[in-house]
Chain A
Amino acid sequence: MSQEAWWASGSFWRKSAIWITGLSFIILIFLTFDSMSYIKAGGKQVPNYAVINQRVDYQFNEAQNRYLPVIGPEEPLFGKKLTEDEAMAMVSKGKLNVQSKNCMDCHTLLGNGAYFAPDLTKSWLDPYWGSKESREQTMVDFLMDPSNKLHNGIGRRMPNLGITEDEARATVAFLKWMSAINTLGFPNNFKAMDQSDAPAPIAAPVAVPDAAAATPATGAPVQQ
Chain B
Amino acid sequence: MAALGMFDTANLNGGQKLAVKYFTVSLALFGAQVLFGMLAGIQYLHPDFLYGILDFSVNRTLHLNAMVVWLLFGFMGGVYWILEDEAKHPVVALWLGNLIFWIFTLAVVAVVLVFLLVQVGPAEMKSIWFINEGREYLEAPRWADIGIVVSVLSFFFNVAATFAKGKYTGIGGVLVIDLLALFGLYLAGMFYTPNVSIDQFWWWWVIHLWVEATWEVLVGGIMAYMLMTTLGVSRKIVETWLYIEVALMFGSGILGLGHHYFWIGTPQYWLTIGGFFSALEPVPLVAMVVHAVYDSGVHKLKNSNHPALAWTIAQAAGNFFGAGVWGFMHTLPQINMYTHGTQWTASHGHLAFFGAYACAVISFFYIAAQKSRGNVWMSSGMVGAWRWKWAMTFLWVGMVGMTMSLLIAGYEQSQIERAVEGSTWMAYFTAQAHPWFVQGMNWRLISGWVFSAGFVLLAWDLLTIGKRETRPAAQIHEQATASA
Residues A1-42 near B (CB distance < 8 A): 8-10, 13-14, 16-17, 20-21, 24-25, 27-28, 31-32, 34-36, 38-41
Which one of A75-83, A89-97, A196-204 contacts B?
A89-97
Contact call A128/B425, Cβ cutoff below 8 A = yes
Tell me the complex Cα distance, A93–B124, Å: 7
Query: Which residues of chain A come closer than 8 Å to B170, judged between CB atoms?
Result: 10, 14
- B90 adjacent to chain A (CB < 8 Å): no
Q: Which residue of A lies closest to B344 (CB)?
A: A115
Out of B51, B133, B423, B429, name the residue touching A189 (CB < 8 Å). B423
Residues B353-387 near A (CB distance < 8 A): none
Q: Which residue of B lies closest to A45 (CB)?
A: B265
Which one of B115-123, B155-163, B316-324 contacts A?
B115-123
Residues A175-206 near B (CB distance < 8 A): 178, 181-191
> What bracket does the count of chain A residues touching chain B fall in?
35 or more
- B236 adjacent to chain A (CB < 8 Å): yes
**With known contacts A24-B254, A39-B265, A110-B264, A186–B198 Cβ distance under 8 A:** no
- A137 adjacent to chain B (CB < 8 Å): no
**Quick one: CB contact mask for A201-222 with B, threshold 8 Å, 1 for yes?**
0000000111000000000000
- A100 adjacent to chain B (CB < 8 Å): yes
- B154 adjacent to chain A (CB < 8 Å): no
Tell me the complex Cα distance, A162–B421, Å: 32
- A53 adjacent to chain B (CB < 8 Å): no
Query: Which residues of chain B come closer than 8 Å to A131, judged between CB atoms?
Result: none
Tell me the complex Cα distance, A41–B197, Å: 9
Tell me the complex Cα distance, A107–B121, Å: 18
Contact call B428/A119, Cβ cutoff below 8 A = yes
Residues of A within 8 A of B (CB): 8-10, 13-14, 16-17, 20-21, 24-25, 27-28, 31-32, 34-36, 38-41, 44-46, 49, 88, 91-106, 108-119, 122-123, 126-128, 147, 151-157, 159-162, 164, 166-167, 170, 174, 178, 181-191, 208-210
Question: Besides A35-B267, A93-B123, 19 other CB < 8 A contacts?
Answer: A9-B240, A20-B247, A25-B250, A36-B201, A39-B265, A39-B266, A45-B266, A96-B123, A100-B122, A102-B139, A113-B136, A181-B197, A186-B262, A188-B337, A190-B422, A191-B421, A191-B424, A191-B427, A208-B268
Query: Can you name 7 A-B pairs with beta carbons within 8 Å?
Result: A28-B254, A44-B267, A46-B195, A91-B194, A99-B128, A100-B123, A184-B262
